[in-house]
Structure 1
């Protein structure tokens, strides 16, 4: 029995240093670095180009030069392409984005209709050659996707013509620049550092105005009361100055 106890003590004494050596040999593993999330920053000045489609709904009422209503003379839906540019500034507070923008476009919106008061004798024509928008914006940013509403002032450059039919001879015309209001909605997508693209819809509420159409010789031909509303759908690309992303740990 004494010999057995001595052998057991010797075995334990031999195994303990070996186990301690195994524990000391474990390699050191470095902790992984913290995750870094990047968030798109919409703040900064931007400039860009746009293009798309427009429709101007115009209705004419004939009246006397003194303002006495004669009768409704028909409506035209002047449609066509638009192209231009925009410049603005946005600043971001959390997920909310605020901005100011000025936009100017050339337009080729044109339509005509037969006179309701003088059918077969005259044709009325509306043309929109350009428009401008001066708006404020408020939007919600989901990282690099921005949803926004806009509103402000609008201006259109128009020409109204009346032709004889037939033959087609200009009987009276007038050109004018008129002011109104606009509201719109859009979405922008930041697809690269400092670059974004999007699509936008705008509706222009133009005031009712009275115009005197004159002959090529400058003689009064007719007086019209004209109503106008414009719908625009455009796509745009913007380049922004400023940091494209901010890091969040």
Structure 2
């Protein structure tokens, strides 16, 4: 009887082991799934040359000529071109240089003196050569800029319709400028910007004719607001995703 029970138990254990083995064989090998690479944010690189254009407005400062009010069209249209180069120093900081020229429309700054003499300055354009320093977060950039400014002036002094020779202590064509703006890369190689820029061309006074010397000095400055677009070179990796490797 004992032998029979032992034989029965051994037979049952063998059947159980055979069933587990068969079930494992039916399931086959465990498949291996490769984990996809982790996604990283796109990279943006501001380093490179750029060229572009801009449109905006010019607003003259509150100018007087020794207490004598100067009349002008204080809000004028402007449009022009710019070119420059940027260096991206790190993931957050950018430095660069930029040259800019803007044509100015319909500017007539006049001083009508009590003795009948009329001074006129027709400012035809303004330009600047500046350095700029900015903070970037991917496609966005905010910056400050400053440097040399130039004013393209066409000045006259008349008595009635007759031209009168004159001389100024300073031609107020050379000055300085400061500004700030924001720029955004909206497509490969393309960025758009908005910018405020202040131009200061200093003080001037007449040194001749003698009748105008007592009237003192006047100050020439401009406030500008511009919107522009740039085409940027050397941005082949614009928006390229980076995959992390394991």
Alignment CA distance shift 1:26-1:174 (3 Å): farther
Tell me whether 168-177 or 225-234 shows the greater mean CA deviation.
168-177
1:21 maps to: 25
Q: Report whether the alignment pairs 1:99 with 2:91.
A: no
**Could you tell me whether the CA contact under 8 Å between 2:172 and 2:220 is conserved in 1?**
no
Q: How do residues 39-50 of structure 1 correspond to structure 2 at under 5 angstroms?
A: 39-50=43-54
Q: Secondary structure at the residue paired with 2:234?
A: coil
Q: Report whether the alignment pairs 1:141 with 2:106.
A: no
Tell me whether 204-213 or 182-191 shows the greater mean CA deviation.
204-213
Q: Deviation at 1:193?
A: 1.3
**Could you tell me whether the CA contact under 8 Å between 2:108 and 2:123 is conserved in 1?**
no
Q: How do residues 188-207 of structure 1 correspond to structure 2 at under 5 angstroms?
A: 188-207=183-202
Q: Deviation at 1:49?
A: 1.0
Q: TM-score, normalising length from structure 2?
A: 0.79
2:77 maps to: 81
Structure 1 stretches of 4+ with a deviation exceeding 6 A read none
Q: Secondary structure at the residue paired with 1:19?
A: helix
Q: Secondary structure at the residue paired with 2:107?
A: strand
Tell me whether 2-11 or 72-81 shows the greater mean CA deviation.
2-11
**Could you tell me whether the CA contact under 8 Å between 1:54 and 1:109 is conserved in 2?**
no
2:235 maps to: 243
Q: Secondary structure at the residue paired with 1:37?
A: coil
Q: TM-score, normalising length from structure 1?
A: 0.78
Tell me whether 200-209 or 22-31 shows the greater mean CA deviation.
22-31
Question: Structure 2 residue aligned with 1:34, among 35, 38, 42?
Answer: 38
Q: Secondary structure at the residue paired with 1:40?
A: coil
Q: Deviation at 1:209?
A: 1.6
1:68 maps to: none
Inter-partner Cα distance in structure 2 for 1:207 and 1:112? 15
Structure 1 alignment gaps of length 5 or more: 62-70, 215-219
Residues paired across the two proteins, number: 230
Q: Report whether the alignment pairs 1:5 with 2:9.
A: yes
